[in-house]
Structure 1
Amino acid sequence: MRPARALIDLQAFHDNYRLAREAGGARALAVVKADAYGHGALQCAAALAEEADGFAVAMIEEALELRAAGIRAPILLLEGFFDADELALIVEHDLWCVVHSTWQIEAIERAALNRPLCIWLMHRVGLHPAEFQQGHRRLLASGKVAKVVLMTHFARADELDHGRTAEQLAVFEAAREGLAAEVSLRNSPALLGWPQLFPQQRPSDWLRPGIMLYGATPFEQAHALADRLQPVMTLESKIICVRELPAGEPVGYGARFVSERPTRVGVVAMGYADGYPRHAPSGTPVSIDGQPGRLIGRVSMDMLTVDLTDLPQAGLGSRVEFWGREVSVSQVAALAGTIPYQLMCNLKRVPRSHSGA
């Protein structure tokens, strides 16, 4: 069997959720959309089934998979419904639903439902702040809604030196003035990085931790609380071939790397078809049998190459970690010109193995 694989540490996932609860002082919906950011939504949700206050997904298809797997906790549809016909399924499967546009409010008003809905009213995506209070009144007046949670989603909370998060919070507070309702404000970066904006943490509030659950920091710089997160995914493979090259020899497509000295090269069963970023440059860190190493040459579809020159003990069959506890996924993402979210969500073809929790 090809040795490329992703190891998923469910105990680390569980511990990161507990950190979110500890840091936020409120109930927390574990965000498991996009197949839990590539980690396996069914396995991750099952690991938290006895503890999580609920889960959040992007769309109803993801929610129905969780329900079919026996997850009975609340599930929030972060993008809401895309067609009024979905409302019957939302009621049938006892799902919570974001409403972000006037057309969705109109659809709820027209719907014939046998049980009232739990709606999370969002102002950022399509409902203008000036429409927020009217939307809240219409939902409650419809007789189709049992509860409305007020929410926003911070667009720049990962930028710790930018004032936009405080400005957005002020807009939200003005929009909801006079409304007595539960609120949901904090995604991962807001929860970790902006405690000064939320000095009065109410147990009735709702957190929405996403990327932090998977052990990746949302920040570009070091951060004391984010540094406590534990990586959940380890992407690894093995060296399948070793070559000795003289100085001046090109390696890989496009000859993007040319050896400056006699170089010992390891070929590894991992490529962009597995989800490793094609644009990772030479010098991107890897770990080879637990020792620091580096990528050399261009990443191809099924293979890539690493420098073994200063690792004489490494060779055929040596383990190579691409990200996990030894190599930061955030560092790899930065060097490849992307973000850790994309790297983990793009994982494909590589078999996943879950353990812990």
Structure 2
Amino acid sequence: MRPARALIDLQALRHNYQLARDVSGARALAVVKADGYGHGAVRCAQALAEQADGFAVACIEEALQLRDAGIGAPILLLEGFFEADELPLIEQHGLWCVVHSLWQLEAIERSTVTTPLQVWLKLDSGMHRVGLHPADYQEAYRRLLASGKVAKIVLMSHFARADELDCPRSAEQLAVFEQARQGLAAEVSLRNSPAVLGWPELFPQQRPSDWVRPGIMLYGATPFEQAQATAARLQPVMTLESKIIAVRDLPAGEPVGYGARFVSERPTRVGVVAMGYADGYPRHAPTGTPVAVDGQLTRLIGRVSMDMLTVDLSDLPGAGLGSRVEFWGKQVLASDVAARAETIPYQLFCNLRRVRMHYLGG
């Protein structure tokens, strides 16, 4: 059997969720959209079922997958509904729903739901992706309550640049939010992973009844490009690994792989590993991207191909056929691989496919 696999440490997942709650002082929706950021939404939700205040997904298909697996906790649809005919399903399954557009508000007003919904009313405080304009926010709040179709409203927005620790944009967005919600007595949800980890000073009076939405931090990856003390307490959840399936000893001056992107400058011992871009490893990761072979750090060399890649074994005489290779995990951080590949850990995790998933600590 092909040795490429991802090990998912569910105890690390639970640790990271608790860290989000501890440092925020608020309730936390565990964000498990995009199949749990590639970690397996159902298994991650099951691992957090006794601990989490609720879950958040992108769409109703993801929510129903969790309900079908027996997850009874609150589930928030972060993009709300895409068609008005989803409202009966939202009502039937007791889902919470973001409202970010006036057409969604109007659809709720026209709906025939008999069980009042829980709505999270989203403000566009400056990200300019989705969310109501500040001038429409209070009127939308009043219309929802007056409709008789809504039992409770949580006020929310989303930060665009909270992962930039020296950027004033988060404080500016918070000021827009506070102005727009003035006089509205409701629970609040503003903080995503970077805001939970990196901006505690913006929320000195966070209420325990409010909500945070940890996403990438649940899976143990930092959202920041630089070191950050609280992010350093995260535990990586996924370890992507495979094994060496062939070894080549090359003299100086020999090319390796497609396009001769690497040419040996000295006698080089090359390990061929069963891992490639069809598994989700980034094709554009350059020579020098860190890997660990049998627990010792070395580097990727040459171009990543569909099913295989090559690593430098020149300084690892004990490594050979069958040696374990870690691509990211507890020794090689996903954030370091992402930086070399000019991407982000989110994409590394979400692009994972074909590899076998093994769950530990469940």
Say whether 1:341 aligns with 2:341.
no
Match of 1:172 in 2: 177
Match of 1:110 in 2: 110
Match of 2:134 among 110, 129, 151: 129
Distance in 2 (CA, whole Å) between partners of 1:131 and 1:331 is: 42
TM-score, with length taken from structure 1: 1.00
In the TM superposition, 1:50-199 aligns within 5 A as: 50-124=50-124, 125-199=130-204
In the TM superposition, 1:264-303 aligns within 5 A as: 264-303=269-308
Match of 2:244 in 1: 239
Match of 1:218 in 2: 223
Say whether 1:12 aligns with 2:12.
yes
| Structure 1 unaligned regions, length at least 5 | none
The answer as to whether partners of 2:220 and 2:236 remain within 8 angstroms in 1 is yes
- CA deviation digits over 1:241-261, x for unaligned, max 9? 000001000001000000000
Distance in 2 (CA, whole Å) between partners of 1:52 and 1:76 is: 13
- Residue type of the alignment partner of 1:103: W
Distance in 2 (CA, whole Å) between partners of 1:173 and 1:254 is: 55
Match of 2:49 in 1: 49
Distance in 1 (CA, whole Å) between partners of 2:34 and 2:210 is: 24
- Residue type of the alignment partner of 1:172: F
- CA deviation digits over 1:132-173, x for unaligned, max 9? 101100100000000000000101000000000000000000
TM-score, with length taken from structure 2: 0.98
Distance in 2 (CA, whole Å) between partners of 1:312 and 1:265 is: 11
Distance in 2 (CA, whole Å) between partners of 1:307 and 1:99 is: 52
Q: RMSD over aligned Cα, in angstroms?
A: 0.5
- Residue type of the alignment partner of 1:42: V
In the TM superposition, 1:295-314 aligns within 5 A as: 295-314=300-319
The answer as to whether partners of 2:32 and 2:41 remain within 8 angstroms in 1 is yes
Distance in 2 (CA, whole Å) between partners of 1:163 and 1:134 is: 29
Distance in 2 (CA, whole Å) between partners of 1:326 and 1:186 is: 29
- Residue type of the alignment partner of 2:315: D
The CA deviation at 1:126 is 3.4
| Structure 2 unaligned regions, length at least 5 | 125-129
Match of 2:264 in 1: 259
SS at match of 2:84: coil
- CA deviation digits over 1:245-287, x for unaligned, max 9? 0100000100000000010000000000000000000000000
Match of 1:26 in 2: 26
SS at match of 1:85: helix
Distance in 1 (CA, whole Å) between partners of 2:235 and 2:314 is: 31
Aligned residues: 357
- CA deviation digits over 1:11-53, x for unaligned, max 9? 0000000000000001000000000000000000000111100
- CA deviation digits over 1:89-122, x for unaligned, max 9? 0000000000000000000000001200000000
Distance in 1 (CA, whole Å) between partners of 2:156 and 2:84 is: 22
